[in-house]
Amino acid sequence: MSASRGASTRYSKGHVIVCFQSGVEIRFPIAANPHLSGATEAALSRIEVSPFGLHWPNLDEDLSFAGLLKGDFGQRSASGLSRP
């Protein structure tokens, strides 16, 4: 589990769970993100938290808190098309 600026996160049973100090919790299935869905449990469990979002260093994947709060779990590109 990592923590930064009041947020902690963990991978558990196919889900990423982000808990904010305020009590707000975001949970999403890794299946919603093509870059995370095929990863190993070890790679999924290594999540770094920044003031702006989440980073998986072994997977080169980043998700912003702003996007997560809007329901964007990395399944779409900026153009709105599904990411490969």
The span from the CA of 2 to the CA of 66, in Å, is 18
- pLDDT per position as a tens digit, 16-73: 999 988 898 999 999 999 999 999 999 999 999 998 999 999 999 999 999 998 999 9
- Which structural domains are found in the chain, ordered by start? 2-69 (3.30.2020.40)
Identify the pLDDT of residue 6.
65
pTM, rounded to two decimals: 0.79
Q: 3-state class of 47 per DSSP?
A: coil
Q: What per-residue confidence (pLDDT) applies to 25?
A: 92
What pLDDT does residue 5 have? 56
Query: C-alpha distances in angstroms, 70 versus 37, 39, 45, 73?
Result: 20, 24, 23, 9
> And the tokens for 76?
């779409």
